[in-house]
Structure 1
Amino acid sequence: MSIVIAIDSFKGSLTSMEAAEAVKAALLDYGMDNAITIPIADGGEGTVAAFLAGGRGEWIREEATDPLGRQIIAHYGWVEEDKIAIIECAAASGITLLKEEELDPWEATSYGTGQLMQAAIAKGARKIIVGLGGSAVIDGGMGMLEALGATFFDKEGSRLKPNGASLGKVASISLSGLPDVSIEVASDVTNPLLGEKGAVSFFGKQKGLKPEDRAAFERNMEHYARIVAGAVHKDCSGLIGSGAAGGLGFAFHSFFPSRFSSGFDLLAEKINLDGLIRNASLVITGEGRMDEQSLHGKVPGGIGKLAKRHGKPVVAFTGKVDIDANVAKREGIDAILPIVNGPMSLEEAMEHAPALLYEAACRMCQLMKLTFD
């Protein structure tokens, strides 16, 4: 039996490869030594590692600022022969960089993401691939743009701090410093910037936006979108993916020659995942939490669609199940196996994730032995 293991990261506890190796260890312990582990991502955490897995590129270390402006060390991927940089906005603007009590979209900025992009441009990047998953910001890309040379002013002509609190104050924008660089955006999010499914209303809560602040924040984002549309002579707020990463998608649509692609699709094409799944007997995937979003643009849903095309069974491991099994089955996920083995807090589950995933994979192997022996 040939097995393909392609599991997304369990945010904050396991990288894609660590998760895959935990499952593979269980398979080996049960005499199944024909498993292939594949690092995979959807544009969020783990995207750079997945792109560099083939060995053609290297990790580059840079100083940057986190969403609250604190100095950190962040990394991006670099492929010298093609002059391509691969950057995760989560590396410097990610939600995992903040404690839960620190989440504050009024103050948070994407400036650190812009710093990584600027460093890549200085290194000679001809193209930048930016993964937009896992951000802590809703600043419409103001921070990223300022780090790259744009400047935002209020109606008095004073320079604004590039964060969520400034969205409603922007009166004019200076674009003279922006670089000319090609951007490929890798994102699992297709949401527009504004409205019920937009950056504020749909994603605000998980980034710390209080329910009573949502209407005001949305009005500020609407104001910002109008100012940007006037500056670039086009309105990109309704374009697919403009709501990704708190409006970073909108900024890329508006200010750069950008191509938007599913992060999963980009990686799947690079590693010929379709061919690997076609030749497999079983496919194993998963992520930290399985819900309806898991089936649309994220790794489990992408794996499920490819496997369904070739009639291959799929097992998904997860920390938490928030989806109906029949819905998942229709999308190609045949079984969802939670890794938690008893009552425990989220912190405990994350701390012990490697062991929990290994044990869950062992339980799967026991069932497989009963079925096939």
Structure 2
Amino acid sequence: MPHILIAPDSFKESLTAAEAARVIREGLSEVLPAARYIELPLADGGEGTMEALVTAAGGRYEETEATGPDGNPLKARFGLIHDDRTAVIEMAEASGLQKLPLARRNPLKTTSRGTGELILDALDLGVEQVILTLGGSATNDGGLGMAQALGVKALDASGKPVAAGGQGLLEVASLNLHELDTRIPATRFRVICDVDNPLTGPAGATYVFGPQKGATPEMLIALDQGMARYGALLEQVVSRKLVSLPGAGAAGGTGMAACGFLGGRLEPGVDVVMDAVGLRAHLKDADLVVTGEGRIDGQTAHGKTLAGLAREAAQAGVPVVALAGSLGDDYEEALACGISAIFGITPTPMALEDALAQAEQNLRRTARNVGALYGLG
């Protein structure tokens, strides 16, 4: 009787990691009903990281109101673990890409302010530590909205507050931290990210992630230039090198902001989550790992869930099969991480909206086919 570990990340905008694990199990069970299954949802700093950490620690959630990425109020929650001494704040909750339909995505306007408001709410509860997870943001404002919510003054050349969103990067001429919430320096911030991109340039926040957030080619040029000026300004204010930090470009530059304004320390999210859920112990008894996420491409090998999982599985001598909502450029690079096989789940070319709507049935069917192949072996 094979022991199969099902450990996916979320399929962004369609299935949470827990939902994906359930669907994969249903597909495998159609042809391998006698197998022993363990569902272990994973995350890497993006969507689902808060849930994975709170579940592993037996924590709880607080719900509050925050500013959404488009400036409108929304309901958001954050986790509390370690006897309520640690808050787990997921940027995607208040500032996430999934909060906006495709037609309303515009990185010149989307703001990270709501994430800062969640931090304030957590501080009001007396937490000693904040774990801030950065993935899945709809923003490219360099974390400036988050900082403004915490008391930072960002002014243009005439001394007026800059506009919200990425537009503020094009205007900011000075940063004043004198009114930064006094509890920030006394609080430990662990900043969990799922990418190692720098702040600017061809591999930076704007050019790599801006298009999925609604940026046009013209926006990309302006936003990257604005991000560079803003980054240099923040380095001067805090007297610390930030722009070149691996992960500074996470969440539209919020990685840099979290280090500069909050004094945070960037950590690879997948390592934090794998430790929290006890992945290595589960691998000891596994014969096969089935994982997956919404998209596998050249970025997968750089700090993403599948790369970290494959590395640990390879050390344990367990083969890994990965399922993807879509396969992007250079997806084969993920094979070098230790993944044995990669399967796209979309059976025919289709619009993104249709692929998202059909994700569950496509994932179940592909998992069933993987189970059939495994059974033949």
TM-score tier by shorter-chain length is over 0.9
Question: Quick check: 1:365 aligned with 2:366?
Answer: no
Name the stretch that deviates more: 59-68 or 218-227.
218-227
- Aligned residue for 2:353? 347
- Aligned residue for 2:290? 284
1:146–1:162: 8 Å Cα contact kept in structure 2?
Answer: no
Question: Quick check: 1:8 aligned with 2:9?
Answer: yes
- Aligned residue for 2:324? 318
Question: Quick check: 1:167 aligned with 2:173?
Answer: no
- Aligned residue for 1:121? 123
Relative contact order higher in (CA < 8 Å, ≥ 6 apart): 2
Deviations 1:34-54 (A, max 9, x none): 111011101011111111223
1:184–1:261: 8 Å Cα contact kept in structure 2?
Answer: yes
Question: Quick check: 1:146 aligned with 2:152?
Answer: no
2:52–2:277: 8 Å Cα contact kept in structure 1?
Answer: no
The residue correspondences of 1:48-59 to structure 2 (distance < 5 A) are 48-54=50-56, 56-59=58-61
- Aligned residue for 2:27? 26
CA distance in 2, matches of 1:290, 1:260: 23
Q: Deviation at 1:266?
A: 0.2
The residue correspondences of 1:1-373 to structure 2 (distance < 5 A) are 1-29=2-30, 30-54=32-56, 56-79=58-81, 81-178=83-180, 179-180=184-185, 181-322=187-328, 327-371=333-377
Describe the SS at the equivalent of 2:33.
Answer: coil
Deviations 1:252-271 (A, max 9, x none): 12122212111100011112
1:301–1:331: 8 Å Cα contact kept in structure 2?
Answer: yes
CA distance in 2, matches of 1:201, 1:121: 34
Describe the SS at the equivalent of 2:130.
Answer: strand
Structure 2 unaligned regions, length at least 5: none
Describe the SS at the equivalent of 1:4.
Answer: strand
> What is the aligned length?
371
What is the identity percentage for the equivalent residue pairs of Structure 1 and Structure 2?
A: 39
Letter of the 2:366 counterpart? A
Change (3 A) 1:165 1:295: same
Q: Deviation at 1:205?
A: 1.8
2:63–2:78: 8 Å Cα contact kept in structure 1?
Answer: yes
Post-superposition, which runs of at least 4 consecutive aligned residues in structure 1 deviate over 4 A? 323-326
Structure 1 unaligned regions, length at least 5: none
CA distance in 2, matches of 1:222, 1:303: 34
1:39–1:49: 8 Å Cα contact kept in structure 2?
Answer: no
Letter of the 2:109 counterpart? E
Name the stretch that deviates more: 185-194 or 169-178.
169-178
Deviations 1:287-336 (A, max 9, x none): 11111111221111111111111221111111212366764333211111
Change (3 A) 1:212 1:159: closer
1:39–1:53: 8 Å Cα contact kept in structure 2?
Answer: no
CA distance in 1, matches of 2:281, 2:375: 27
Deviations 1:67-87 (A, max 9, x none): 110111111111151511111
Once superposed, what is the RMSD of the aligned Cα atoms?
A: 1.8
2:296–2:327: 8 Å Cα contact kept in structure 1?
Answer: yes
CA distance in 1, matches of 2:273, 2:331: 27
CA distance in 1, matches of 2:206, 2:358: 33
Letter of the 1:203 counterpart? F
1:152–1:162: 8 Å Cα contact kept in structure 2?
Answer: no
CA distance in 2, matches of 1:217, 1:341: 37
2:29–2:368: 8 Å Cα contact kept in structure 1?
Answer: no
CA distance in 2, matches of 1:201, 1:343: 26
Change (3 A) 1:72 1:290: same
Q: Deviation at 1:176?
A: 2.4
Letter of the 1:6 counterpart? A
2:163–2:171: 8 Å Cα contact kept in structure 1?
Answer: no
Deviations 1:79-103 (A, max 9, x none): 1515111111111111111111211
Change (3 A) 1:198 1:326: closer
CA distance in 2, matches of 1:104, 1:323: 24
- Give the alignment's TM-score, normalised by structure 2: 0.93
Letter of the 2:255 counterpart? G
